[in-house]
Amino acid sequence: MLKTEIKSISAKDTLSIRQQVMWPDKDIFYVELSEDPRGLHYGFLVDGILISVVSLFENKDGWQFRKFATLQKEQGKGYGSKLLRYVLTVAERKKATKIYCNARVEKINFYRSFGLIPTDKTFVKGGIPYVVMEKKVTRIS
Walk along the chain (141 residues) in steps of 10 and give the mean pLDDT of each run.
Answer: 95 96 92 95 97 95 94 95 94 89 95 96 94 84 51
Total tally of structural domains belonging to the chain:
1
Alpha-carbon distance 47 to 42, whole Å?
16
Which residues have C-beta within 8 Å of that of residue 111, sequence separation ≥ 6? 101, 103, 133
Q: Which domain holds residue 67?
A: 4-136
Report if residue 20 sits inside a domain. Answer: yes
Q: What is the pLDDT of residues 51-65, one digit of tens each?
A: 999 999 999 889 999
If phi > 0 it is left, if psi is from -120 to 50 it is alpha, else beta; for residue 66 that is: beta
pLDDT at residue 139 in the model: 59
- Per-residue DSSP letters for 14-26? HHHHHHHHH-TTS
Percent of the chain with pLDDT strictly greater than 70? 98
Alpha-carbon distance 105 to 80, whole Å?
18
Q: Could you tell me if 85 and 70 are in contact, meaning their C-beta atoms sit under 8 angstroms apart?
A: no
Report if residue 141 sits inside a domain. Answer: no
CATH code of 11's domain: 3.40.630.30
Strand 117-125 relative to strand 128-136: parallel, antiparallel, unpaired? antiparallel
